Amino acid sequence: MLKAGRLWALGAMSGTSLDGVDAAMIETDGHEIFGFGPSAYRPYSAQEAKVLHAARGCWPGAPEVAAAEAVVEAAHIEVLGGFTGAALVGFHGQTLAHEPQGRGTHQAGDGARLAAALGLPVVWDFRSADVRLGGEGAPLAPFYHFACARWIGATRPLAFLNLGGVGNLTWVDPRRARPEDDGALLAFDTGPANAPLNDLMRARRGVACDRDGAQARRGKVAQGALELFLDEPYFARIPPKSLDRDAFAEMIALVDELSDADAAATLTAMAASAVMRGMEHCPMRPERVLVCGGGRRNPVMMAMLAAALDCPVGPVEDVGLDGDMLEAQAFAHLAVRVARGLPTSCPGTTGVRAAVAGGTLSRPMERETT
């Protein structure tokens, strides 16, 4: 059993950008944040990334999945094995397919194998229980965002915006007592963020991303393509709602005839405009928007957001948080909540029918899970 009170937990995240594994430790009791520990990043090699990209959209049993699982598990064992002092691990795995209203959700990676390799209890499969109970299964970081809002001393509603492969927004009212309370949280995927832009840069220029927005800065936004994008019914849907990484794959087709620079500018504008549309769903205007994920390092995207939103926009570093490690920290926090039977999602974050504690706990030396 986990000791009562605060403890050090280790979390890991391999996101939809498919660039590598983030790992970070935090001290928490599942309610509050008491301290931040070390962090690490383990990039995927070009060959590993190729294996993961080949498995995108695949479900358990597909031939590509076993190879992807092997990559995910080996990378996580390598980076997580470099930490000491953790009482348990939160392992998200790698999302390969996500159809909450269809076939469900699929994260590659077996937490029981990690528990055996690391000699620590591992909490994993965070999303399945939420989907089984009618939820979207995403986003899951909002309960941690609530704890972060309390940690920074926020007294008015604010928003956390994660710009990874997919964008997701969490509106937080820190005046509520618990994250699962009515009105405490509203969370949803805003739309594509870095994934289409990264795919474009990889296909056209053989690089992983539009570093520092260099291409987008040189280009001109194709307004016709942007308008077609914003006509997508997804943006009018009332949240909570979530997306698969490739749900807007046709975005690439909209910029096929454009130059590299114009295509990058247009895809960047699409990501920012999706956030603008998402803000229309917030219960009230947030006091500020704090941005995490790789997109916050793109000055063109950040400038577009600042121009589109009617509140201050800045990176989470402005309030002393780590925008690269926030999601890894989130799964450390959620792991403690799962181990203690606390909810990890609620109607306001995923649309699940009632607050639910998702996740499976696997202990070292046990192949069975509890």
Specify the CATH architecture of the domain 7-139+325-362.
2-Layer Sandwich (3.30)
Tokens linked to 301:
């995207």
The one-letter amino acid at 26: I
Q: What is the pTM of this model?
A: 0.94
Domains of the chain by residue range: 7-139+325-362, 153-319
**Res 369: pLDDT:** 40
What tens-digit pLDDT sequence spans the chain (370 residues)?
Answer: 577 899 999 999 998 888 999 999 999 999 999 999 999 999 999 999 999 999 999 999 999 999 999 999 999 999 999 999 999 999 999 999 999 988 999 999 999 999 999 999 999 999 999 999 999 999 999 999 999 999 999 999 999 999 988 999 999 999 999 999 999 999 999 999 999 999 999 999 999 899 999 999 999 999 999 999 999 999 999 998 998 888 888 888 899 999 999 999 999 999 999 999 999 999 999 999 999 999 999 999 999 999 999 999 999 999 999 999 999 999 999 999 999 999 999 999 999 999 999 999 999 975 444 3
- CB within 8 A of 313, min separation 6: which ones? 288, 289, 291, 302, 305, 306
How far is 346 from 341, CA to CA, in rounded Å?
A: 14
Query: In which residue are the tokens 């030396």 written?
Result: 365
How far is 167 from 158, CA to CA, in rounded Å?
A: 17
From the list 133, 120, 100, the residue with the least C-alpha distance to 12 is 120
* Fold match flag (7-139+325-362 vs 153-319): yes
User: Hey, how many other C-beta atoms are within 10 angstroms of the C-beta on 158?
Assistant: 23
DSSP state of 133: T
Which uninterrupted H or E stretch holds 171?
strand 166-172
How far is 272 from 298, CA to CA, in rounded Å?
A: 11
Residue pair 244/234 in contact (Cβ under 8 Å)? The answer is no
Tokens linked to 261:
């620079």
Specify the CATH architecture of the domain 153-319.
2-Layer Sandwich (3.30)
